[in-house]
Amino acid sequence: MKCPLPSEDEFSCEDCYGDFLNEDFDVKVYTSQSIHQAVIAEQLAKLAQGISQLDKELHLQVVARHEDLLAQATGIESLEGVLQMMQTRIGALQGAVDRMKSKIVEPYNKIVARTAQLARLQLELQGQH
């Protein structure tokens, strides 16, 4: 099994992370096995050590990729600005569509009503002859 973290030498997958990296890892099974084997204190110590190592690795990764992370954050801010502008434009476009719709729907409804009225009038006139 390969570690997803780059510094495999610094900490071993099998020692702290092997169980957690398995795709079929089940926290309930892991916990019940720890309780059943009465190694809770040992497991807690291993977990604390693993968390500490992960924190250190995370810190090292952030320091090593500081510039990239800042560039990504700046890129995200730019994208958020573009997204906000697009949302504003979409809102304006939706407003224009709604105005056009109201200008079209009202006359259409009048035409439908008048056509129905005319059809009834024609039927009535045909019935009188």
Decide: 16 and 53 in contact? Cβ < 8 Å: yes
The pLDDT tens digits along the chain (129 residues) read: 334 444 444 444 445 667 777 788 888 887 787 777 777 788 788 888 888 999 999 999 999 999 998 899 899 999 999 999 999 999 999 999 999 998 999 899 999 999 999 999 999 888 886
Residue position matching structure tokens 């990729």 = 65
What's the rounded Cα separation, in Å, for the pair 75 and 82? Answer: 11
Decide: 21 and 1 in contact? Cβ < 8 Å: yes
* CA–CA–CA angle 75, 78, 84 (5° rounding): 140
DSSP 32-45: HHHHHTT-HHHHHH
In the chain, domain spans: 1-64
pTM check: above 0.75: no
